[in-house]
Structure 1
Amino acid sequence: MSTSASSKVWAIPELVNLIVWRCPGSMIAKLAQVNKAISEIALASLYRVILGNMHDLLAILAPMEAHSDESGLTFVRPLEQSDWTRFLKYSAHVKEIFLMEILPQRQAISPEAFCVMDATRPTDAIFPFLTSFTTFEPLASSNHFYRLIYQKRLTKLSVCWETPFRVLQNVRIIAATLRLLNIKGSPKAFDSLTRQEFLALIPELKTIAVLELPSILVTSDIFEMLSSKEHLQILSMILTPADAVRNPIDEYRYHFTEEKFPSLRGLALEDPSDGPHPNFSTLTAITRLQSVKVALSGKVTLESFRRCSSALSAGFPCLHSITITVTKFQDNTEFMDSSETFSVFQPLLSLTELRHFRIEVPSHISLTDEHIEQMARAWPHLLDFHLGCKIPFEGDETELTLSCLVSFAEHCPSLQCLCIGVDATAVPHRPLTDKTVFSESLIILELSGSSVGETIAVASYIADLLHGGDCLVHHAKSSDESWRYRIHKWNEVATLVNNIREARSRGVRRAFNLVAAAGR
């Protein structure tokens, strides 16, 4: 390529962006130094996302060192105006910051460094185009740091909160522009000052679309305030630690009406009570909600589980996704009667648009192949089905057999992921035909918790159900001693399934070649 042709290439921003986008970070840094024509584009790519502890970026201001093992990094000399002039050239390109202070204290940035920056900063915004900030650890109440980060263009904020840190007060200054607010952490108490701060913050969240926060923060009165947010699309209440102390005067009841949450599409909530169903109610069916996740962290009875399922299906009849996680059953034996257990899921059969079904339980529950047949027929649009248990099944602890897989193959043509525990020692009662096969959409078949039968018979049955494309037959990994033998056996099954499918493919190719040769 001639010099003039090369110059023309570097003069086309679209081509330069494409070239830079495909370069590793080290090469982009060199391009920024040696090619003035594309220096700004290279810098914009290099500094667009800051991932880590910000040391490399702040070192542009001045060198940083730790005075002791406990002090953290701070500047080795006073900051001058010329330092800021140089720094602002780079910080203007920063749009996203992910702060992960997982380094030893000596390599982390000290609060004093942010204090010095705040004291010497120019009047201009330090990160004028910053739109997203995420931190994975509590930052205490460092107002100096917040003044550097919180800018008018910030629309996504994810911070950690632990009592007694005053994080919510600092958020108010940029609340009006936030579209996403994620308050992470595992607070064990909701003190009165935090309540006042949150009550003051909610009216300022004028454009909020996604709100994620610890469930202990969402009392009945706060839930009522949030229900008026016209742009709120996703409300997610993060699981609270089991030893969290809830104020006895606080109520945690969530009541829905057609007028509340006019834009809500996704909801995740936690109920720590032993009887969750009275705390959740809908006066009318809410058809706009598409996704619900419920964490039942109390000691759940079969009856309360059933009533919770009934409330969800009646209140949100157009759900595409439902996830229910149970921490502990009050009486495990209640769920060993397959008919009683199925009564928990029966109300959900009315959710004809369901795409994603996920149930996590702490101990065994019993269902039959006929129950799975009803579920598969009721949910023909399923993309993934997950009925998981963290404890491996023994043969007499479930009535499900490999035959239940046939129901999914016949009635769920879009299924991509299937996770279920069965008794693979039992002979499947449903014989397979040439037409009984999963569609090519299936990519993962996971039989976590399943007992293991005769390797060849199990592998042959599964292989006959699978399509000719790629599909991972998977068994969950675990370091638990009780899983070791089972994992070994299922690895044998998975290997044999792959061998059978490869042999079948070779046989088909050979037969095709023979037919083709005979026709020539």
Structure 2
Amino acid sequence: MDRATRSSRRSQRSASAAVWAIPELASLIVSECPQSTTAGLARVNTLISDIALASLYRSVFRNLPNLLAILAPMEPCAEPESGLTFVRPLEKSDWTRFLKYTAFVKEISFFSTYGRPNAPRAIAPVTFAVMIATRPVDTIFPVLECFTAWHPLGPLHPFYQLIFQKRLTSLSVFWEPSLRLFQNMRAIADSIQKLTIYGSPTSMDSLTSKELLALIPELRSLVTLRLPSIFINSDIFEMLSFQEHLECLVMKPNSTEVSISVTGYSFRFVEGRFPSLKEISMEDGSDRPHKRLSIQTPNLTLESLSVSLLGRVALSSIRKYTVTLGAGFPSLQTLHLDVTTPFQDQEQVIDSFKTFTVFQPLLSLTQLRDLAITSESPISFADEHIEQMAQAWTHIIHFRLECETPYESNETELTLSCLISFTEHCPSLKCLTLAVDASLVPPRPVTDSTSFSNSLNLLDLSGSLAGDTMAVSCYIADLLPNDDRIFHYRTYHHGQNELLRIQKWTDVHDTVLKMTKVRSRGLRRALIRAPSMDS
């Protein structure tokens, strides 16, 4: 090897060493590497060994058994259904080796669960008991910040002792009856910023409610709380309203086996409470939800609201509810309203004027970006109502009016012309879902300057009544930007009566696809020819 070659290789090594010597750059490179490459770097590159190990072991998901096997070899217990355990006593040298890796573990998701005999690679509870007995608990995972258990661990599972440390900031656990989970959390409550409770309990014992009520004041750093609605009552909701840092409160829908009467509590927004709240998701099982919602003064911080109404609600009750929402949460950017059962006065829902008066109070929400109104049965509007909505919500990005069943004749007055309102007033619109009666002749024709902006990526007319295939196809194609993947129609499975409608909309979809492709091809050819014509 000549001198020039040796000098060149030394220069390359120096340059490589200089790169690896910059932690930020090395971390960026490692983050883009496949796991196998990162493992190789951890073994052979002493300059970035810790960076590579930190990338490999930062999050431990299904590979927890592999991590524990670094501590000592493992095999199934004498009782195979119990899971894996160590084959020999743990030594000091085992811990020295193991702690080199756990020093990087910040997140654990626990899949292998006690009480699931067929779980692959389950870990026996005695394994964790041995670890706790031979090493101070708070040194085993010294930088752990986030823990998730996707299944019940059981009321006495030793793994909780490893996890419930005061440095934990995110905790997601599965709750089942008789588990004294909230009582055990109080020791670590001060550091928790994100708390998620999984499970589908069908009843709630008074002791658990008292434990949660006692826990809430100690969650001084809480930012996000997600839990089943059944955990909430008026006292707990009021206690949560004092949380200074709480930004997100999601009360997840209860199991279908839960009695609607269980969710009979009030949502009271008192002046000065929920000072940081930005997002809330609620569930109301009553027939008169407006009676359970009170907002003393407008809440200016709330940006996102999701509501599920489970009772047989009258239109008058929903109107009073929307009046309260519109006046009480003027800063809303996201609103999802789900009416899960048919209305009490279902015959009035197909009266577009009466229906629009129900939702008209929401027009005051001028910052709205995401609106979804879903219902068990059809809700009727007219073109002029959509025009008012589009004018009021000029920042809208996602607009969804959706019904669980296809519309029948006379259940909506909307025509294809209502789409023009969105093209004229909503330049940021990305997703539009609503049902129209395409058999009606659109009163407004499409002009050369009328089309959706290029931001649109979904036009979903699922549930719409069908019309003349060619006329409907031409109207829709004229409104779409030059993209052949935007128009969509989902099929419903409601018997033979739907087959003709499905076939007609399938034909419309295929025709629109062909039209947009032809138009795009013509545009491309025009652009290609333009330079030669100029010359």
SS across alignment from 1:397: coil
- Asked if residue 54 in structure 1 is aligned to residue 55 in structure 2, the reply is no
Return closer, same or farther for 1:280/1:499 CA change in 2, 3 Å cut-off: same
Q: Runs ≥4 in structure 1, deviation > 6 angstroms?
A: 477-480, 482-485
Match among 62, 77, 97 for residue 86 of structure 1:
97
Counterpart CA distance in 2 for 1:477 and 1:396 is: 20
Match of 1:374 in 2: 388
- Asked if residue 282 in structure 1 is aligned to residue 295 in structure 2, the reply is yes
Mind listing any 5+ residue stretches in structure 2 that lack a counterpart? 1-8
Match of 2:230 in 1: 216
Counterpart CA distance in 2 for 1:486 and 1:113 is: 60
Match among 482, 493, 496 for residue 511 of structure 2:
496
Match of 2:181 in 1: 167
Amino acid at match of 2:19: V
Match of 2:13 in 1: 3
Percentage identity across aligned positions? Answer: 52
Counterpart CA distance in 2 for 1:355 and 1:124 is: 46
Match of 2:107 in 1: 96
- Report which stretch shifted further, 57-66 or 180-189: 57-66
Amino acid at match of 1:77: R
SS across alignment from 2:340: strand
- Contact residue 214 and residue 238 of structure 1 kept, 8 A: yes
Amino acid at match of 1:10: W
Match among 134, 143, 152 for residue 129 of structure 1:
143
- Report which stretch shifted further, 9-18 or 337-346: 9-18
Match among 276, 279, 284 for residue 271 of structure 1:
284
- Report which stretch shifted further, 62-71 or 234-243: 62-71
Counterpart CA distance in 1 for 2:504 and 2:342 is: 30
Match among 224, 232, 248 for residue 246 of structure 2:
232
TM-score, structure 1 length as denominator? 0.93
Aligned residues: 519
1:488 Cα deviation after fit:
5.4
Counterpart CA distance in 2 for 1:365 and 1:39 is: 61
The alignment yields a C-alpha RMSD, in angstroms, of: 2.4
Amino acid at match of 1:369: D
TM-score, structure 2 length as denominator? 0.90
- Asked if residue 65 in structure 1 is aligned to residue 75 in structure 2, the reply is yes
1:262-301 deviation per Cα after TM superposition (whole angstroms, max 9, x unaligned): 1112121111111111111112222222211111122222
Counterpart CA distance in 2 for 1:370 and 1:264 is: 35
- Contact residue 140 and residue 166 of structure 1 kept, 8 A: no
- Asked if residue 324 in structure 1 is aligned to residue 334 in structure 2, the reply is no
- Contact residue 94 and residue 127 of structure 1 kept, 8 A: yes
- Report which stretch shifted further, 129-138 or 61-70: 61-70
- Contact residue 125 and residue 151 of structure 1 kept, 8 A: no
Match of 2:5 in 1: none
1:395 Cα deviation after fit:
3.8
SS across alignment from 1:499: helix
- Report which stretch shifted further, 155-164 or 75-84: 75-84
Mind listing any 5+ residue stretches in structure 1 that lack a counterpart? none
Counterpart CA distance in 1 for 2:124 and 2:17 is: 45
What are the equivalent positions in structure 2 for 1:293-332 lying under 5 Å apart?
Answer: 293-331=306-344, 332=346
Return closer, same or farther for 1:256/1:14 CA change in 2, 3 Å cut-off: closer
SS across alignment from 1:445: strand
Counterpart CA distance in 2 for 1:190 and 1:13 is: 51
Amino acid at match of 1:90: Y
Amino acid at match of 2:93: S
- Asked if residue 145 in structure 1 is aligned to residue 153 in structure 2, the reply is no
Amino acid at match of 1:437: S
Counterpart CA distance in 1 for 2:334 and 2:483 is: 27
1:385-411 deviation per Cα after TM superposition (whole angstroms, max 9, x unaligned): 011122122344322222111111111
SS across alignment from 1:107: coil
Match of 2:123 in 1: 109
- Contact residue 424 and residue 450 of structure 1 kept, 8 A: yes
SS across alignment from 1:413: coil
Match of 2:521 in 1: 506
1:311-353 deviation per Cα after TM superposition (whole angstroms, max 9, x unaligned): 2112112211111111112433332222222122111111112
Match of 2:53 in 1: 43
